[in-house]
């Protein structure tokens, strides 16, 4: 998972914006066209999208529409198209904000910070055994931070968000690695094993990440 997906075909502008965002502590990826932006969004599961409108191939309106079909991820449109109809179209398609170019970087950063504060800062999962701080992407066991890889964190978060529900192996693999991943399905089994080693008192007889034979896995408190 990344914090911000920047969709901007002007490489100079994109590089400058990404540098500012990284300096603020965000993880960032840039795409220069609509098709690659949609693929990156599906694989990286960005928490915010900064979207230009005038892009090669699919324009920003089409990208916004496609993202909104399956996700409520915040979207900020940043565009040189300043007509009222363009702004209305972007907002109707589901953008959370529409900012005209050229923009004040401090204003944009403030808007981004506001979105992250409202949307993610207070999102903490806790069951008395484990605690996950989504905004900081840190998991704790008995108040001690766990040393998790990105995929381990994403997998544990997905399991905890569905506590008590059995999730199939296919669902877990597709959610974490993506339909177009080059990873093998066995990768899921390996990551489950690693997670158990980090959170279970007895990894060979787990109390929390339970195997449902022939189906998948279930997280129990």
Question: How does pLDDT run along the chain (221 residues), one tens digit per residue?
Answer: 788 999 999 999 999 999 999 998 888 999 999 999 999 998 888 989 999 999 999 999 999 999 999 888 999 999 999 999 999 999 999 999 999 999 999 999 999 989 988 877 657 788 888 989 887 789 999 889 999 998 999 999 999 989 999 999 999 998 888 765 566 778 999 999 999 999 999 999 999 999 999 999 999 98
Classify domain 4-121 at the CATH topology level.
Rossmann fold (3.40.50)
Q: Which residues contact 102 (CB under 8 A, 6 or more apart)?
A: none
pLDDT value for 18? 96
DSSP characters over 3-68: SEEEE-S-HHHHHHHHHHHHHTT--EEEESSHHHHHHHHHHH--SEEEE-SS-SSS-HHHHHHHHH
For the chain, the structural domain boundaries read: 4-121, 124-219
DSSP characters over 88-107: HHHHHTT-SEEEESS--HHH
At 196, is the secondary structure helix, strand, or coil? helix
* Predicted TM-score of the model (pTM): 0.58
Burial 145-184 (b: 16+ CB within 10 A, else e): ebebeebbbbbbbbbbeeeeeebebeebbeebbeeeeeee
pLDDT value for 103? 93
Q: Give the number of C-alpha atoms closer than 13 A to the C-alpha of residue 180, restricted to the C-beta side.
A: 8
Q: What is the CATH number of domain 124-219?
A: 1.10.10.10
Alpha-carbon distance of 86 to 67, in angstroms, equals 18
């Amino acid at each position: 998972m990344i914090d911000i997906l920047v969709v901007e075909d002007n490489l100079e502008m994109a590089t400058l914006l990404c540098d500012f965002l990284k300096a603020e502590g965000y993880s960032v990826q840039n795409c220069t066209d609509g098709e690659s932006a949609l693929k990156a969004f599906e694989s990286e599961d960005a928490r915010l999208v900064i979207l230009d409108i005038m892009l090669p191939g699919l324009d920003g309106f089409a990208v916004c529409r496609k993202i909104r079909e399956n996700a409520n991820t915040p979207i900020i449109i940043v565009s040189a198209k300043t007509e009222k109809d363009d702004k209305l179209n972007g907002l109707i398609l589901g953008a959370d904000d529409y900012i005209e170019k050229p923009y004040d970087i401090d204003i944009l950063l403030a808007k981004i910070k506001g979105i992250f504060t409202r949307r993610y800062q207070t999102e903490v999962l806790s069951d008395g055994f484990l605690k996950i701080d989504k905004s900081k992407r840190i998991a704790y066991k008995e108040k001690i931070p766990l040393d998790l890889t990105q995929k381990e964190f994403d997998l544990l978060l997905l399991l905890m968000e569905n506590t008590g529900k059995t999730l199939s192996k296919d669902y877990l693999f597709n959610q974490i690695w993506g339909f177009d991943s080059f990873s093998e399905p066995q990768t899921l089994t390996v990551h489950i094993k690693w997670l158990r080693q980090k959170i279970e008192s007895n990894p060979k007889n787990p109390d929390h990440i339970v195997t449902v034979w022939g189906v998948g896995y279930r997280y129990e408190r």
